[in-house]
Amino acid sequence: MLEPQCSPTFATKKMKTVLITGASQGIGRSTAVLFSQKGWNVAATVKDPATTEPFVGNIKIYPLDVRSKQSIDNCITQVINDFGQIDAIVNNAGVYATSPLECISKEDLDNLIQTNINGVLYMTQAILLHFRERGTGVIANIASVAGRVTFPYQSVYHTSKWAIEGLSESLYYELRNLNIKVKVIEPGMVRTNLYQSVLNPVVEKYPLAYRDNFKRWHQYLINNYENGYDPALDAKTVFKAVNDSSSKLRYTSDFMTKMVLSLRALLPLCIFRKMIYSMSKLK
């Protein structure tokens, strides 16, 4: 196993410790930086430490593949050995896909499900014994507005985020009497490299039946991505959620996400679906 990388100002076992998955960029990296600034030890896990930009502050980088239970067990054991305990985990690691379901490859589909769903299940399973033994802990799952509201050409991604919503709500009941809190953070259209790899799909490979609608949807996605909000906003929401001793389950950051979720709750479903269809630029 690769040795974890230590930042210049390594912290102490007297401070609280958070383990964050997918911390190389975007929400995960911003969250790691914020927790460090707030005086926490941070175990920042990344798939490939060699390609990760170094951190400063109380942040230590650990190699982790959330698709591997062995990798998870090794990582958690090392973090506990280094810091004495883990007070919270942030299940942030994830991948994105936008494509007609008919056209997505088995490899991409399997990787998304293994990362976005199995990775959260494996991480949560692995940390629960430690939290039970300590009599406390926080599990913060990064879901998405895509776990509450659906759009076309994201069926596999929606599947994964709806799964995280269901998992989190079930665990909320399951763990409440054990003093283990479950929190769900629901980002909206945040500027993150998560989307970069799919912003230029080879649409010509899709069947003609999908191309025109997908092109319109794809342009809508690009426009929203380019005008998205800074992931530092979600980092603040994660920090707030982890430190919130109340029984609140779900947290959102930006006005647009809150508005869409409010409309989803208030409007008749038939009207809301028409609104989504129109927003998606479909014909």
Amino acid at 187: P
Closest CA to 104 of 147, 160, 155, 162: 155
Cα Rg of the chain, angstroms: 19
Catalytic residue status for 157: yes
Question: Concatenated DSSP letters for 15-64?
Answer: S-EEEESS-SSHHHHHHHHHHHHTT-EEEEEES-GGGSPPP-SSEEEEE-
Buried b (16+ CB within 10 A) or exposed e, 131-161: beeeeebbbbbbbbbbbbbbbbbbbbbbbbb
Q: Which helix (H) or strand (E) holds 134?
A: helix 119-134
Bin 67: left if φ > 0, else alpha if -120 < ψ < 50, else beta. Answer: alpha
Catalytic residue among 157, 195, 206, 251: 157
DSSP helix/strand/coil, 169: helix
Q: What's phi and psi for 200, nearest 5 deg?
A: -130, 65
Question: Concatenated DSSP letters for 229-266?
Answer: BPHHHHHHHHHHHHT--S---EE--SHHHHHHHHHHHH
User: Which residues are tagged catalytic?
Assistant: 157
